[in-house]
Chains A and B, each alone.
Chain A
Amino acid sequence: MKWRKRTEGLFLVPSILFLMIFGLGMLMAFMESLMDDGTATMGYYMELFRKERFMRSVLYSVWITAVSTVLSLVIGLLFVRVFKEKLKGGTGRLLVWIPMLFPHFVWAYLVFLLLNQSGFLSNLLGVSGLMAERTDFPVLVQDPGGIGIIVTYVWKEVPFVILMLLPVYASLSKGYREAATLLGANPVRMFTTAEWPFIKPALIETGAILFAFIFTAFEVPQLLGVTSPQMIAVLTYEWFYSGAWTDRPFAFAALLLAGALSG
C-alpha cells in the first residue's frame, strides 16, 4: 500500500520520537567524551589507548563475549536442529521460555548458588563422598577466567537463540532438503546447501545482538567477576559514578569505542 492519506504518515511519529531520544543520548555522550574545559579534543580517546587497565579490560571483554556468543549460537542451533518437532508448541515450547522469564542478574545469582565452592554442586559431591574437602571444588565463580560469567550467559542466551531460530526453521522449505537427498547429498552437504543459506542471516543477526549486549552489559560481570581483570561496563561504571568527576569523559569515550567495536 502507498500512503493513502497524509494522516497515515502519523504512524511514524512515535518511532521517530523514540529514535530522537536515543540519538540525543548518543549525542550527549559523544559531546561529553570530547569536552575538556570547554574545548573539543580527541585527547581522551588517545589517552585511553595508553591506559593499560582499559586495554586489558577490552581484551578480556572481547574474549568472554566471543566465547559466550559462539557457544550460545552453536548449542542453540544444535538444539533447534535436533528437537525442532518438539519445539513447535505445547509443553516443549513453554519449557524453553522459562529462562527468558528471569533477569540476567537472577540467573547470575543462580549460577553463584550452584557453582560456588560451598554451593549446591560442591555440596552434592561432598555428601556423595566423591570429594573430601570443599576446597577441592574448582573456583568457577568470581574467578579471573570469567567461567561463571560465561556459564551464566550461555545458559541464559541459548533459549534466546532457540526462539530466534525457530521461525526460520518453521518456514524452511522441505523441498530443498528432499531435492538434496534425491541428488545424493550427504548430511554435511545437505546442511551447507539446503539449510545454511536460509539460517545464516538469522544466525548472524542473533550473534550480533548477543555480542553487542554481552560486551557492554554490567549486571552479570558485576556479580560474578573479579576486580581485575574487569569487563568494560564494570570499569566504566566505576569511572562514571565512583571515581573522580574527571574520569567521566573517559567513561563516555570508552563506551563509545566499545560500541564502535561491537557495532
Chain B
Amino acid sequence: MKQIGFYSATLLFFLFPVCFFIYKSFFGIWRWGEAFPVDPDARAWKVIAGEGELLSAVVVSVGIAVMVLILNLLIGLTAGKAFALHRFRGKVILESMLMMPLFLPALVVAAGLQLVFIRLGLADTWLGVAVVHLIPTVPYSIKLFKSAYEGIGTELIEQSMLLGGGAMDRFRHIELPQLIPAMNSVLFLTVVISLGQYVLTAIIGGGSVVTLAMIYYPFTRTADESVMSAFSLMFMMIPLITYLISVMVLKLFIPYRPSKKRRGNETPWN
C-alpha cells in the first residue's frame, strides 16, 4: 500500500514533468478541443540542433558552470575542512557569516557588485558572471564539505601524519575517496544553480554574456511550445553529462574504485 502511494506520488510529481516535456517536444501543440496528437515529429529537436545561437550559449553556460564548480570546490573543500577538523577563534562567527548569502537577496548584492565589476573590468565577462554565481552556491558547498569532513574525522589523517605521509598523498588516498559523495552533490548543485541564474547573469553579464538562461527567458512568450520543451530538457541534460564526465576524470585521480568492496591487488602499495 505504502509502495503504491510512494510510486504514484513520485511518478506523478517528479517523473511526469520530464515525460511531459519529452512528449511535448515530439508532439507539439495540442489545439484545444481537438483529438490527442499521435504523430511524433522530430522538428523541435532539429531546430534546437541547428540553432547556432543556442549552441554557442551551451558553450558559454558550460564554461561558466565549470568555473563556478572549480571555485566552489576550492572554497568549499578548504573551508569545510577547516570548520570540521580545526578549532580556532571566531569559527562560529565566520561560519554563520558564510551562510549569510542564503538569507539575503542575491539581486541586491549583484547590483552592488556591478558597480565594482565595471571598474575592475569584470562586468560583461565570463569570469565576472562566474564570480557572481558563487553567491548562491558557495554556502551549500561549504555545508556539504563540512559534513563530509566530519564523517572522515581526524583519526585516519593523524595516523597518516604519524606515518610520515605528505599532504598531497594524504589528500589523494584518504580524503578524496571519502569525499566523492559530497563532490557529486556539489557538482549537481553548482551546475544546476549556475545554469538557472537569469537575473544575476543579466546584471553582471550586461547582455553580452549570453547563457542558456538569457535565451530561454525571452523565448517563453514567443517561441513554440515544442521547441521550448526540447530546450527545457537541455537544462537537465547538461548537469547529467557534466556528472558523467567528472566521474571519468575522478577515476584518473583516485586510486580506488567507488565500490565498497576493495579489490586488494589494485591498490597501489601491492
Residues of A within 8 A of B (CB): 1-3, 8-16, 18-19, 21-22, 24-30, 32, 79, 82-83, 86, 92, 95-107, 109-110, 112-114, 118, 120, 122-123, 126-127, 134, 155, 158-159, 167, 208-209, 212-213, 215-216, 218-219, 223, 233, 236-237, 240, 251-252, 255-256, 258-259, 262-263
Contacts and interface: CB of A to CB of B under 8 A. Distances in A.
Given A32-B115, A106-B232, A219-B198, 8 more contacts: A8-B82, A15-B79, A18-B138, A19-B94, A101-B188, A109-B232, A113-B229, A237-B107
Nearest to B138: A18
Q: Is the interface of A mostly helix, strand, loop or mixed?
A: helix
A256 B104 CA distance: 8
A110 B82 contact: no
Interface of B: 2-3, 5-6, 9-11, 13-15, 17-18, 20-21, 24, 30, 32-33, 35-36, 74-75, 78-79, 81-82, 85-88, 94, 97-98, 100-113, 115-116, 131, 134-135, 138, 142, 147, 154, 158, 188, 192, 195-199, 203, 213, 216-217, 220, 225, 228-229, 232, 235-236, 239-240
B184 to A, nearest CB: 11
Q: Is the interface of B mostly helix, strand, loop or mixed?
A: helix
Contacts, number: 218
A260 to B, nearest CB: 9
A13 B78 contact: yes
A18 B195 contact: no
A119 to B, nearest CB: 9
16 contacts: A1-B158, A11-B86, A14-B79, A18-B138, A22-B100, A26-B109, A29-B109, A97-B188, A98-B236, A101-B240, A122-B32, A123-B30, A215-B105, A237-B107, A252-B108, A259-B108
A78 B235 CA distance: 29
Given A104-B196, A127-B33, A212 B154 contact: no
B107 A103 contact: no
Contact of B112 (A103, A237, A252, A263): A252
B75 A15 contact: yes
A112 B30 CA distance: 14
Given A79-B9, A100-B188, A216-B105, A29 B111 contact: yes
A103 B82 contact: no
Contacts of A26: 104, 108-109, 112
Across the A-B interface, the 8 shortest Cβ-Cβ residue pairs:
A103-B196, A29-B112, A216-B105, A28-B112, A25-B109, A255-B108, A15-B79, A25-B113
A112 B20 CA distance: 13
B107 A216 contact: yes
Find the residue from B6, B18, B108, B236 having the highest chain A CB count within 10 A. B108
Contacts of A255: 105, 107-108, 111
Given A24-B113, A28-B115, A262 B213 contact: no
Nearest to A7: B167
A110 B231 CA distance: 12
A21 B113 contact: yes
Contacts of A104: 196
A213 B99 CA distance: 13
A126 B36 CA distance: 11
Contacts of B240: 101
Contacts of A8: 82, 86
A218 B33 CA distance: 34
Given A22-B101, A110-B21, A1 B85 contact: yes
B10 A92 contact: yes
B131 A21 contact: yes
Given A24-B116, A134-B32, A233-B107, A109 B228 contact: yes
Nearest to B74: A14
B102 A209 contact: yes
A102 B78 contact: no
Nearest to B196: A103
Given A24-B116, A28-B116, A95-B10, A106 B235 contact: yes
Contacts of A123: 30, 32-33
Nearest to B192: A101
Contacts of B87: 1-2
B32 A223 contact: no
Nearest to A114: B20
Given A83-B2, A112-B220, A263 B17 contact: no
Given A15-B142, A18-B75, A209-B102, A105 B107 contact: no
A105 B97 contact: no
B135 to A, nearest CB: 6
A107 to B, nearest CB: 8
Contacts of A236: 107
A143 B21 CA distance: 24
